[in-house]
Structure 1
């Protein structure tokens, strides 16, 4: 049985757009299962095998006018299911039906469109003029008589939406999947419900039995599965799924690399035991910290930590020949940011993506590979994880090493650990912890002159990073009330003698990442 079988499904053909996975998330939120297919792998057979009742063509960074631009064949017009092209997909559909795309000054950011056919089911609930968000240079200049223009840009007159007259194939130039198009979710809902007429029956927690059956079918009797549990929701959920599938053949290993948050080792052990998992606990903090000594480069720190984890897992695997599998809590954002998806840039290395199975000689299980963080949390709760733990802020696998800029020293580690704890305590007290995606403190080598106890001191600068996000793929800095920031600053500078300056990071992702390195 394939994941998602029995649920309404939409295939998303990805042309390399940064929002392809945001489209996927929006549709899943509406209650339909989605799978992303790269354009060069797309075919009628693959879409039919998925059981897709509709197809969405994503945006993309290329121009459809380039000689080697990403393309799919005209078979998409004869597939027999509704199709929605967004941005690049809109322009590609226009070319496939005999329309014309031209280069122009483009439209970027907030753009008002005039809806010419508000009676069309795609625009049900839209007014005659609506705000949208666009990001394109090329534009659709003409569509043939077999298509109908549904909307145009108010200021440029560009075709903002069209459809074929004789079948439910649509193109929209704007991005309905982003929050900056206020009625974008309504348009996607209209496409799912009114155009494609799909049942909205997808819930990630309802797929637990399928995930368990898939693990059980892959792992033969007598073989064990090694799971590295960090205490994060991804690895914890993975371990619980494996435990439910194969019982005591789960070998859960919790490695303390000395880069955990304050009190975290004890909290993780307590949680796992309460869920029926007795982990193998390995305190390797001295080994990790020794190997990180003198290392300043972010990527090098990640590689050292990843390599050390592998060596520890090798020792565990060698100690029991029946361990044949490694289960990882890999999620969609992990796969994308590590460059595992063809054509994606590697933003940063994730120690739980790629490399481990080959080095260890183990077969890999990644039951969460096609789920987003919020979906993993819902699955976790259905498996018995307490809600307050399921919704803890994400914590990077390399731990505080990526929240310390430059060399990881005992002093900077102590500052990062205590300052982050203070940030979390103040946010919880203010009732804001659950409203933000991540909140933590960063410390580097920069110093700031301060005065403490009537003496001049050169103290560290601590930067506070608090962001709001849905899945970590994009994020915006949180507009925390000044009085809350003031309390955070006062407590850090008062309780940590080595700190003389506290700053607040106000850059979104992109262009920044959430973690400093």
Structure 2
């Protein structure tokens, strides 16, 4: 990157690590994530202006827990430990960490004891933060002082008097923490003295160069899905390799209503991409026959996905690279980022790939979030009709059709989903929510239509609000809108006689049901 100032984030396995990186990048300071056990020479090579140590699902008291080298303290740069990171700093520097009798999870009020401390400069004395810890610092290391305490009396923040080392027991990177951005800004600009030298325009230029250098004179086959991610990845790569990009749009049989026709028109007529259409719906449905487990569905789609593209690559002739629009939330939920990260669910373009592949992968967006990708798409001139589309899972409707996937159930789901999205758009809600869709449940119930008994399927409506897909709240939709959607689905789609609303946030649920 051209950015002169870099913040290195050492990932101890937290699901929020990339949120830290994103929040820092939002301040136009480049950040890079390295695993907690990255060699010191690798960390030094970044010439960081500061170090952030992430949270972790582990305990510093457990054997084999993530740790850092003592040499890190010799770099002479500021260090900020978040949650587990604060406990780790205390543990390594002579303090004491213990399990708390009553763990702090969720919203909690803290009191700042030292408003002159650099990271709390300009903030109120009391505000609410987001806690998520079972261990706590019970005895500070020599040379450290308490900066803030929680309502329960636990240490919420600490700092060293003679060294630029800070610890926060809460998560400033999540939206639930009041003044979290100000705290990170204070660390970046008051403590690390960073300059704002990074922006997405620079990222585009550098990524185009990097793709060009990686691919050389080779051919790239692009896995287009019709969504924002694969489209941005394709247009970005087209800038790097020109006519050596061969796009393939696969009809998996798991797409939404009329999706293939609509996106092909945009690709060919507006973006001028060279797109080959492949109808592989029978292959995907065959691979999914009898499969009901969500993980197995994702892996079955992933295996078939690669098989189809390798076959198409042979038709292109001497294609060596496969382009995918993998985003960072896909990577971390699949447990691929950072030692100790837990697997939430396998994404077909991350964990569903076979170990032996004929094609090498290019994933230029793998360190970005959805809103960043949309911003890049705008820079690249991609039409709004693509950029405004809600996220759509790689395995398509297979993970929204719970239980075994059949053509008949997919048709019911497509039609119900189309009604929901159409009414959201008409009512002005489509662009207000992060994601909305229908789920066909493996549940049938008794109903009555035209004075006759029916025994139909149940559809769940899912609509969420989110900033980045890492956390989400269910969206409050107008009652009249919900009523209209439910009536239309039950009246217009024989086979469905019940509609329910999912009002679960993430966490504890994920956005998708499978």
TM range (shorter): over 0.9
Q: 1:337-376, CA deviations, whole angstroms, 9 ceiling, x for partnerless residues? A: 2232343333333222257585441222111121111111
What corresponds to 1:132 in structure 2?
129
Give yes or no for the alignment of 1:335 onto 2:328.
Answer: no
Asked if residue 373 in structure 1 is aligned to residue 357 in structure 2, the reply is: no
* Whole-angstrom distance in 1 between the partners of 2:378 and 2:446: 47
Q: 1:16 corresponds to which residue?
A: 13
TM-score, normalization by structure 1:
0.94
Corresponding position of 1:512: 509
**Residue 430 (structure 1) aligned with residue 450 (structure 2):** no
After TM superposition, the score normalised by the length of structure 2 is 0.94
Extract structure 1 runs of 4+ deviating beyond 6 A: none
Pairwise mapping of residues 269-288 of structure 1 onto structure 2 (< 5 A)? 269-273=264-268, 274-288=270-284
Relative to structure 1, is the Cα distance of residues 15 and 427 closer, same or farther in structure 2, using a 3 angstrom cutoff?
same
Q: Is 2:12–2:340's contact at 8 Å kept on the other side of the alignment?
A: no
Structure 1 residue matching 2:90: 3-state secondary structure? helix
Cα separation, 2, equivalents of 1:378 and 1:484:
30
1:439 aligns with 2:468: no
Q: Structure 1 residues 98, 490: CA separation in 2 closer, same or farther (over 3 Å shift)?
A: same
Change (3 A) 1:227 1:83: same
Q: Distance in 2 between matches of 1:298 and 1:21?
A: 25
The answer to whether structure 1 residue 220 and structure 2 residue 216 are counterparts is yes
Work out the CA distance in 2 between the residues paired with 1:481 and 1:214. Answer: 47
- Alignment partner of 1:102 is 2:98: yes
| Counterpart check, 1:85 vs 2:81 | yes
Aligned residue pairs total 511
CA deviation string 1:116-139 (max 9, x = no partner): 111222112222222222222322
Q: 1:135 to 1:334 in 2, by over 3 A?
A: closer
Aligned partners of 1:317 and 1:357: how far apart in 2?
A: 16
Match of 2:311 among 315, 319, 330: 315
Backbone CA RMSD of aligned residues: 2.0
| Structure-2 change in CA distance of 1:332 and 1:268 (3 Å) | same
How far apart, CA to CA, are the structure 1 residues paired with 2:98 and 2:333? 33
In 2, Cα distance between the equivalents of 1:24 and 1:212? 21
Shift of 1:483: 2.3
SS in 2 for 1:253: strand
Q: Aligned equivalents of 2:275 and 2:241: distance in 1?
A: 15
After TM superposition, give the deviation of residue 516 of structure 1 in Å: 2.0
TM-superposition CA deviations, 1:87-107 (whole Å, max 9, x none): 111122223332222332233
For residues 416-448 of structure 1, the C-alpha deviation after alignment (integer angstroms, 9 at most, x for no partner) is 111111111111122211121211111133112
The 2-side partners of 1:88 and 1:288 are apart by 43
Alignment of structure 1 residues 284-433 onto 2, 5 Å? 284-341=280-337, 342-353=339-350, 356=353, 359-433=356-430
SS in 2 for 1:303: helix
SS at match of 1:52: coil
CA–CA distance in structure 2, aligned partners of residues 144 and 400 of structure 1: 53
Specify which of 175, 180, 185 is matched with residue 181 of structure 2.
Answer: 185
> Where in structure 2 are there 5+ consecutive unaligned residues?
none
Matched residue SS, 1:435: coil
Q: Is the 8 A contact 2:424 2:430 kept in 1?
A: yes
SS of equivalent to 1:61? coil
Q: In the alignment, which residue of structure 1 is the partner of 2:44?
A: 48
Is the 8 Å Cα contact of residues 332 and 341 (structure 2) preserved in structure 1?
A: yes
Q: 1:440 to 1:354 in 2, by over 3 A?
A: closer
Q: 1:471 aligns to what?
A: 468
Change (3 A) 1:479 1:150: same
The residue matched to 1:135 in structure 2 has which SS? strand
Is contact 1:404-1:442 (8 Å) kept? yes
Q: What are the ranges of 5 or more consecutive residues in structure 1 without an aligned counterpart?
A: none
8 Å CA contact 1:205–1:378 kept in 2: the answer is no
Residue number in structure 1 paired with 2:236: 241
CA distance in 1, matches of 2:137, 2:167: 10
- Greater CA drift, 379-388 or 273-282: 379-388
Q: How far has the Cα of 1:190 moved from its partner?
A: 1.2
115 and 299 in structure 1: CA distance in 2 versus 1, 3 angstrom threshold? closer
Q: CA deviation at 1:408?
A: 2.1
Distance 1:425 1:352, change over 3 A: same
Q: Determine if contact 1:42/1:72 at 8 Å carries over to the other structure.
A: no
Q: Distance in 1 between matches of 2:289 and 2:65?
A: 47
Relative to structure 1, the CA distance from residue 304 to residue 291 in structure 2 (aligned partners, 3 Å threshold; closer, same or farther) is same
Residues 2 and 202, structure 2, Cα contact 8 Å, conserved in 1: no
Which is further off, 54-63 or 97-106?
97-106
CA 1:82–1:387 in 2, change beyond 3 Å: closer, same or farther?
farther
Asked whether the 8 Å contact 2:104–2:133 carries over to 1, the reply is yes
Q: Distance in 1 between matches of 2:493 and 2:454?
A: 13
Q: Is the 8 A contact 2:434 2:463 kept in 1?
A: yes
| Shift in CA distance, 192/439, structure 1 to aligned 2, threshold 3 Å | same
Deviation at 1:188, TM superposition (A): 0.9
Greater RCO, 1 or 2 (C-alpha within 8 Å, sep 6+): 2
